[in-house]
Structure 1
Amino acid sequence: MPEEGGATLYFPVGQLILPALLASCWTVCSGADWCYQSDFSCDHPCNGPKNWNHANSNCDGKQQSPINIVTRKTLKDERLTPFKFDNYQQIFKGTIKNNGHSVQVGVPHLSTVSGGGLPTSYKAVQFHLHWGNNGGPGSEHTIDGEQYPMELHIVHMKHHYSDLTTALSDAEGVAVLGFFYEKSNRANGKYDPIINALRSIKNANGNTSLLPVSLAQLIPAEQNLTSYYRYKGSLTTPGCTEAVVWTLFESPIPLSIEQLRMFSELKFHSGNSMIETFRPVQPLNGRQVFRSGGAVILASSALLMATIATALGLSQPN
């Protein structure tokens, strides 16, 4: 028995066993691979989001993503003008894959985006999604604490790079356009190629050909993309490289609850249901989030309409 200063110390057996069991379970449950919290269990040892730094030390960086955007703390930036989307209407036949963490579609490097305060033009490389559980909260970024059902990331790299690995060595080498989804009473027919393909890729590493689709059909109309937020951040999965210029658009994409639920039928590498595939929001660490002029215009329009409505109400005879 432990002794201190000649006195015998007695501990209840439970106080000795419980820490030992916890330590044992922690040793068993901490693996080299990373996973989302929804996929973590002693049956599937992996590093959940709080331990992603074990998978890659970059995940402990000071400019990590995603974040919560507090709209009243954003700063208007006149340089955040409307984007120019080139070849976003281009129809392509891609391959959709369950990569064990998400659904991903490779994009021919024909579609480019410029303007919008970006330092140069960027070409699309791939897009993927993050979602919740059967249409529940699932976006990575949040707006004033609100988490949307799903989030789309269209990943671009600077036009002169030929691969994403090289682009990630540049502090502004990657630009990701992020879009939120909202629940709708009607199915969004433009998403039929994606939704129908999910049935064929339920298991990890499953892939299938995607019916012809364009990036433009998957996102809001261009005239609705003038209101957005901008900040410097990282990839939201290991290696968490801090080389991303983030743009998050206010205008959401509608999907029916049935369409949203289809994503929850997919499986992780472990065989567990692929749900809640989002990283928790990360500290800002002094970073500034900027907003486009469009956000102010929309707010001003709403204020103007409210003022007019009030004035009309006051002018009505009793």
Structure 2
Amino acid sequence: MQPLVVSALLASLWTLCTGAGDWCYQSQFSCDHQCNAPEKWDHANSVCGESFQSPINVVTRKTLKDERLTPFKFDNYQQIFRGTIKNNGHSVQVGVPHVSTVSGGGLPDMYKAVQFHLHWGNNGGPGSEHTIDGEQYPMELHIVHMKHHYIDLTTALSDPEGVAVLGFFYERSKSANRKYDPIITALRSIKNTNGSTSLPSVSLAQLIPAEQNLTSYYRYKGSLTTPGCTEAVVWTLFENPIPLSMDQLKAFSELKFPDGKPMVGTFRPVQPLNGRQVFRSGGALILASATLLMVAMATALGLSQPN
């Protein structure tokens, strides 16, 4: 009888620790904090278990060059605004209070910016949502846009191409990126969940690489990376990363989740591609594997030898 009792006890503990209630990141899950971690997000919202989810790992050698992926046209990205920055319990989010639009770049329409938010790891460790050839960057910026004629994001999400998200990776640098000072400074005032403060004057353009460095990117169809995981997003992932110092990256890990624990590991693991094609612009690089390079070299040597 004793083995049966032990088995029943273990089963009850497993049930207790497998998640319940609202969604959370893996870093938040514990037996003391029952929540639906990423592998259980479909329990919080069934759409999270569908086929065309984000983020993904981009395998560059499997991407397909698309001549329609031309340079973007950014309008009013240089315009200074004073938005509100908020700790919403799972990220830092800033509303964009004026009309900044993006078009071109193979997008099916003109899209206007609604908000931007970030995803990060633990004290500057791996934390991007998307990965490139398996590499996870320290942090990722998402500038969320909707088709220009929609008046709210909920309506836009009912359109299969209603939302366009521009994704940018961050890399560690030896020196601080002074263009990010307004955001890094504001983080000190919003450490607790639902904390918000007025963001000093900032522009979208100052947060991302110069426009001439935004011609190399990847494109695919996917979803929101948090529940409800709606599959209505045209994704663009830019190749050139944004530099931040280690201290700047660590500042995000000083924020707190609703339970007071450090807000770290705020990324969803990569999802299956399920037959989707990832496209690349003309400037995007393909990182060939070492095996492919050796085969290519051997082939070249073989061709150069006389018969």
- Same fold, judged at TM 0.5 (above): yes
Number of matched residues?
288
Counterparts of 1:187 and 1:75 in 2: how far apart (Å)? 36
Q: 1:265 to 1:14 in 2, by over 3 A?
A: farther
Shift of 1:23: 2.5
Shift of 1:297: 11
Counterparts of 2:79 and 2:72 in 1: how far apart (Å)? 17
Percent identity, please. Answer: 80
Query: Is 1:69 equivalent to 2:58 in the alignment?
Result: yes
Shift of 1:119: 0.5
Query: Is 1:251 equivalent to 2:240 in the alignment?
Result: yes
In structure 2, the partner of 1:50 is 39
In structure 1, the partner of 2:297 is none
| 1:226-305 mapped onto 2 (5 Å cutoff) | 226-295=215-284
Shift of 1:146: 0.1
What amino acid is the match of 1:45?
Q
Query: Is 1:147 equivalent to 2:136 in the alignment?
Result: yes
CA contact (8 A) 1:25 1:42 kept: no
CA contact (8 A) 2:60 2:286 kept: no
CA contact (8 A) 1:29 1:44 kept: no
CA contact (8 A) 1:32 1:47 kept: yes
| 1:199-210 mapped onto 2 (5 Å cutoff) | 199-210=188-199
Shift of 1:108: 1.8
In structure 1, the partner of 2:292 is none
Question: 1:91-148 deviations in whole A, cap 9, x for unaligned?
Answer: 0000000000000000024100000000110000000000000000000000000000
| 1:302-317 mapped onto 2 (5 Å cutoff) | none
| 1:122-271 mapped onto 2 (5 Å cutoff) | 122-271=111-260
Q: 1:281 to 1:28 in 2, by over 3 A?
A: closer
TM (normalized to structure 1)?
0.88
Question: 1:39-80 deviations in whole A, cap 9, x for unaligned?
Answer: 001221110000000100000010000000000000000000
In structure 1, the partner of 2:291 is none
In structure 1, the partner of 2:67 is 78
User: Which one of the candidate residues 101, 104, 116 is aligned to 1:115?
Assistant: 104
Counterparts of 2:11 and 2:105 in 1: how far apart (Å)? 51
In structure 2, the partner of 1:106 is 95
Shift of 1:294: 1.6
Shift of 1:202: 0.5
What amino acid is the match of 1:90?
Q
Shift of 1:27: 3.5
What amino acid is the match of 1:84?
K
CA contact (8 A) 2:53 2:223 kept: yes
Shift of 1:267: 0.5
Q: 1:24 to 1:126 in 2, by over 3 A?
A: same
Question: 1:154-177 deviations in whole A, cap 9, x for unaligned?
Answer: 000000000000000000000000
Shift of 1:298: 12
CA contact (8 A) 2:60 2:287 kept: no
CA contact (8 A) 1:110 1:124 kept: yes
Counterparts of 2:23 and 2:285 in 1: how far apart (Å)? 40
Q: CA RMSD in A?
A: 1.6
Which blocks of at least 5 consecutive residues in structure 2 are unaligned? 289-307
Shift of 1:272: 1.3
CA contact (8 A) 1:109 1:123 kept: no
CA contact (8 A) 1:231 1:245 kept: yes
Which blocks of at least 5 consecutive residues in structure 1 are unaligned? 1-10, 300-318
Counterparts of 2:177 and 2:285 in 1: how far apart (Å)? 29
Counterparts of 2:45 and 2:56 in 1: how far apart (Å)? 19
When Rg is computed on C-alpha atoms for both structures, the one with the higher figure is 1
Question: 1:253-301 deviations in whole A, cap 9, x for unaligned?
Answer: 00000000000011111211100100000000000000001226999xx
What amino acid is the match of 1:122?
Y
CA contact (8 A) 1:233 1:244 kept: yes
3-state SS in 2 of match to 1:53: helix
Q: 1:51 to 1:253 in 2, by over 3 A?
A: same
What amino acid is the match of 2:272?
P
